[in-house]
Copies of this chain bind each other. A is one copy, B any other.
Amino acid sequence: MTASLSDIAIRAGVSVKTVSGALHGGSARMSEETRQRIKEIAEELGYVTNFAARSMRQGWMPLVGLVADDLITSPFATEIIRGLDGAVRAADMAVFAMTLGGHRSIASILDEMRRFRPRAIAYAAMYHKSVDLPPEFADAVGVMINCRDANDRVTSLVPDETGAALEITNYLIDAGRRNIAFINLPGLLAGELRELGFRRALDQAGIDGAGAIVLPAVSKAIYSDRAHSLVATHVQALMNGPRRPDAILCGNDRVAMEVYAALRREGAAIPDDVAIASFDNQVEIASRLDPPLTTMALPHRAMGRQAAQILLAEDRAPVGVQKLPFQLVERASV
């Protein structure tokens, strides 16, 4: 099929070892002339290194495994892969991603991944959550991205939800807004943590936090894109209620998109009557809304990069949860 080192060796009249050294720059130095000749023959024969064979000696393939609960197919979280891939590539390895679709268990997919003998494995979630990693896999997984192990046995990287909510709420307050409603994502860890930050910001500003309005974006107990949206109803009620908001904080950019439509129906201007801010920075949407949306960008890219650092570091990172900051993207909706 494909040429091997020994094919080249025969053709060049040298030993396999010499060829190996010539092509992969083993420390042993050899006459530059021989090296060049070997390289030419390799080229001519269309030689391609066989990583599987190499891995038999090394013990692992030059791979970093990424097991994701549905990540690859999620539109904007692909930034995690970008960040990871860049850093992993710099170490001459490749990212091998597997998606936990359908009804496969975490255990089975991790086992499948291990068959390929990756150097390290990361587990990533599509949205910030707590994951119950089977105990026997706690040390197969080197880092958790956008999620944390329910039993805190693995280093994890998560977005600083509370901090982000605090920051964006303060931003609204600084813009002079006092009646801020929050249309949050129900049933999600992210939503819970953000509500904390939201209320804290109001408290700190001396705004009547007790009366803070927090409403769920959908009628189901757990937010999902397919659940029946309550956004239109909420916005209508808010705008015609006793305490008209001068700002609405949205759980994500899709919710914001719906809020825009609802406000338009009420004849309210953004940001003059009502300022809008949100979480995610799903660029395709956020930058195209009219006016463009001010939103807190999730630190997906940074989590990916950081994960690579941790996985490729010589010594194991101390177990713990690292919170990465969101980035405020100022546009024109506030």
* B261 close to A46 (CB less than 8 A): no
Candidates B48, B82, B115; contact of A51 at CB < 8 Å? B115
- Interface stretch among A69-77, A169-177, A323-331? A69-77
Complex Cα distance A52/B111, Å?
15
Complex Cα distance A290/B72, Å?
29
Q: Among A78, A116, A136, A282, which residue has the most Cβ atoms of chain B within 10 A? A: A116
Candidates B2, B101, B112, B261; contact of A94 at CB < 8 Å? B112
A125 within 8 A of B: no
* B56 close to A52 (CB less than 8 A): yes
A161 within 8 A of B: no
* A114 close to B82 (CB less than 8 A): no
A28 within 8 A of B: no
Complex Cα distance A156/B85, Å?
28
Candidates B59, B114, B285; contact of A48 at CB < 8 Å? B114
A42-64 with Cβ < 8 A to chain B: 46, 48-53, 55-56, 59, 61
* B288 close to A51 (CB less than 8 A): no
A123-150 with Cβ < 8 A to chain B: 136
**Which of chain B's residues have a CB closer than 8 A to the CB of A114?**
2, 48
A258 within 8 A of B: yes
CB-CB under 8 A for A225 and B284, given A52-B116, A56-B53, A264-B264: yes
Complex Cα distance A236/B73, Å?
37
Candidates B2, B96, B285, B290; contact of A285 at CB < 8 Å? B285
Complex Cα distance A73/B261, Å?
29
A313 within 8 A of B: no
